[in-house]
Amino acid sequence: MLKHIVLFQYRETTTAAQRQEIEDKFHDLRTSTRGGEEYILSIESGPQNSPEGLHHDFEQGFIVTFRSEGDRNYYLGEPLIQDPRCYDRLHHEFKEFVSPHLKPNGVLVFDFPVQRRSHG
């Protein structure tokens, strides 16, 4: 299993309604398919609310869970995958939709494989 964390910094001109639309469209990706099957296990999201002051102006976060790196790579698409037949068209369209609402360098992505640890 693999976790894909996405953080957004919005432009000052992005309204609350637009932010909600972005969140809704991101969650709509959950129903996207690969080979006729849904391939995203889950999407979680929420606003930044840490009191530590270390959020670096990132305002909203998403955690996407995939079964495998292959599913994550299918989701990512460009620039990793160049052939549009081999990546998620809906995610590609979402990236184009959200881009004008984000500050320059206003997205941070961090992926990691889930490691199960035993106690003891």
Give per-residue pLDDT as tens, 20-77.
999 999 999 999 999 999 999 999 999 999 999 989 999 999 999 999 999 999 999 9
Q: Rounded to whole angstroms, how far apart are CA atoms 113 and 69?
A: 8
Q: What is the CATH number of the domain that holds 51?
A: 3.30.70.100
Has residue 119 been placed in a domain?
A: no
Has residue 117 been placed in a domain?
A: no
Half-sphere exposure in the Cβ direction for 90 (13 Å, CA): 14
Residue 113 preceded by cis peptide, ω within 30: no
Has residue 57 been placed in a domain?
A: yes
Has residue 116 been placed in a domain?
A: no
Global model pTM greater than 0.85: yes
State how far the alpha carbon of 48 is from the alpha carbons of 55, 65, 96, 117, 118, in Å: 7, 19, 23, 28, 30
| Confidence (pLDDT) at 79 | 87
Has residue 11 been placed in a domain?
A: yes
CA 24, distance to chain mean position in Å, is 12
Residue 120 confidence class, pLDDT cut points 50, 70, 90:
low
| Confidence (pLDDT) at 117 | 75
| Confidence (pLDDT) at 52 | 93
> 């989701």: which residue's tokens?
75
Strand partners, 112: 3
**Whole domain around residue 41: which residue ranges?**
2-111
Q: Rounded to whole angstroms, how far apart are CA atoms 11 and 51?
A: 22
Number of domains forming the structure of the chain: 1
Q: Which run of H or of E encompasses 94? A: helix 89-98
